[in-house]
Amino acid sequence: MAELIDLLEDVEQIQPGVHFHNLIGQDRVKDVLSRAATTGRIAHAYLFLGEVGSGKEAAALDFARILLCMSEGDRKGQRSAALPCGKCDSCVQTEKLTHPGFKVLFPQPKPQPPKEGQDGVDAVEQYTAAQRKQMDALMAAKADDYYTSLSVSGGNEILIEHIRALRSEFRLTSYSGGWRVVLISQADRLRVQAANAFLKLLEEPPANVVFILTSSRESRLLPTILSRCQVLRFARIDQDTLRDELIARLKVKPDKADAAARLADGSWKQAVDWARGDPAKETMKVVELLRDLLRGDPGRLDELVDYWGAASRSGDFAGMLERMAHWLRDVQTYDADPSSAKELARDEHLVKFATFTEGRNFEDALDAIDEARLDIERHVQTTLIAYNLFSTLRKVLFRPKGK
């Protein structure tokens, strides 16, 4: 992927205009942000809303590269080279996510209590060596692939200590390099105190600072934060775009790219996961799990909870839940109108399952899966997540009608 991006940058550098090297699809978003960059009419705060894998953070990082590029004349139409130029020191640093004018906040573990004599700002520095290593590795992975999820062990919320440190930095330091950009990933994980502290920054925004918030859960955001941001909504990426990008970027064979794009539900991240795995095999794991839940054997349920709840399988569990949600959406589509779902009708397992669960409340099942996925991000004990989810699915999908 990196080689392809380098190639694209070599070609695009001789073309005028603004370029998003990493963002896949989302032409409307690109158009809005490109016009903002070329006219200089930059909002002090943006909120990028969309499903996981739609490219919110890829857009944020690409936009940061554009704003921080030192080819200021290009932004004003005075030269013909593209933005970002990819050559200046700012571009090199921003690509590695090490630019001094670029900050990234995301859910992190609580730091150790500050030592005597240290204030709340210093508290954010009290991470253990292991925690720092984990977070440094995550940022390196993010720099390599802008679609990497910013998630670390113990990272349940965005901490007020980090917001305070940010406010203090803006108050006490000056920066002569033009724009400064702050990405707040998963802004719905700002808890009340942190959200209120951040709100003060939005009410009196520092000069030349652009905040970019991302979220997949609009309902969990404070309305006061929503009202102070320019909102851009990210659509699910269409299948043709996913297919073409899988072939171009990852050299996936066309047949496999077709299958992966269909199963990805508009998410580049899921499309890549499907393309690198075996779609048919992974789907059967979901079917077999649902069959086990249907049988209702208490002993088997305990085995499933133990298996999927094992800490070492938490990543596998999250992936399985993504696939289960996609498959149940297909079942729901077929259940609603079998005559218009001819492609789905080719899946005999899906047809049998839809027939058995006809008229059931699939929305409740999908909501339960979404809540389980959120609990995994919050690092709730996985055995508890598995037990609650499997019990709910048995009740919603398989309880005899009328009971």
Judging by DSSP bridges, how do beta strands 180-184 and 102-105 pair with one another? Answer: parallel
Rounded to whole angstroms, the Cα distance separating 31 from 20 reads 10
Rounded to whole angstroms, the Cα distance separating 219 from 213 reads 14
CATH number at residue 283: 1.20.272
| 248, part of any domain | no
Backbone region of residue 300 per phi and psi (left: phi > 0; alpha: psi in -120 to 50; beta: other values)? alpha
Backbone region of residue 18 per phi and psi (left: phi > 0; alpha: psi in -120 to 50; beta: other values)? beta
Are residues 35 and 106 both part of a single domain?
yes
Confidence (pLDDT) at 403: 54
Rounded to whole angstroms, the Cα distance separating 358 from 286 reads 18
Are residues 229 and 296 both part of a single domain?
no
Are residues 226 and 313 both part of a single domain?
no
Rounded to whole angstroms, the Cα distance separating 184 from 402 reads 47
| 239, part of any domain | no
Are residues 81 and 224 both part of a single domain?
yes
Rounded to whole angstroms, the Cα distance separating 7 from 341 reads 41
C-beta separation of 65 from 175 below 8 A: no
Rounded to whole angstroms, the Cα distance separating 152 from 356 reads 40
Task: Supply the DSSP string of 105-147, one letter for each residue.
Answer: E--BPPPPPPPTT--TTGGGG---HHHHHHHHHHHHHHHH-TT
| 246, part of any domain | no
Are residues 191 and 47 both part of a single domain?
yes
Among the three residues 174, 199, 234, which one is the final residue of a domain in this structure? 234
Are residues 212 and 145 both part of a single domain?
yes
Domains: count for the chain? 2
Q: Which domain holds residue 97?
A: 2-234
Are residues 54 and 167 both part of a single domain?
yes
Burial 352-361 (b: 16+ CB within 10 A, else e): ebbeebeebe
Among the three residues 177, 204, 234, which one is the final residue of a domain in this structure? 234
Of residues 241, 264, 244, the one with CA closest to residue 252: 244
Are residues 183 and 306 both part of a single domain?
no
Are residues 287 and 219 both part of a single domain?
no
Tell me the pTM: 0.74
Cα atoms in the Cβ-side hemisphere of radius 13 Å centred on 328: 25
Rounded to whole angstroms, the Cα distance separating 207 from 88 reads 23
Q: Tell me which amino acid residue 90 is.
A: S
C-beta separation of 208 from 214 below 8 A: no
Are residues 184 and 288 both part of a single domain?
no
Confidence (pLDDT) at 245: 93
Among the three residues 181, 203, 234, which one is the final residue of a domain in this structure? 234
| 269, part of any domain | no
| 15, part of any domain | yes
Rounded to whole angstroms, the Cα distance separating 197 from 202 reads 9
Which pair of tokens denotes residue 255?
A: 């047949």
Beta bridge partners of 103: 182
CATH number at residue 156: 3.40.50.300
Positions in the chain short of pLDDT 50: 1, 3-5, 7-15, 73-80, 120-121
Of residues 81, 80, 171, 186, the one with CA closest to residue 121: 171
Which pair of tokens denotes residue 341?
A: 């779902």
Are residues 325 and 227 both part of a single domain?
no
Which pair of tokens denotes residue 49?
A: 């809303």
Phi first, then psi: give them for residue 56, nearest 5 degrees.
-60, -50
Rounded to whole angstroms, the Cα distance separating 337 from 348 reads 16
Rounded to whole angstroms, the Cα distance separating 18 from 187 reads 27
Are residues 130 and 18 both part of a single domain?
yes
Which pair of tokens denotes residue 331?
A: 């079942």
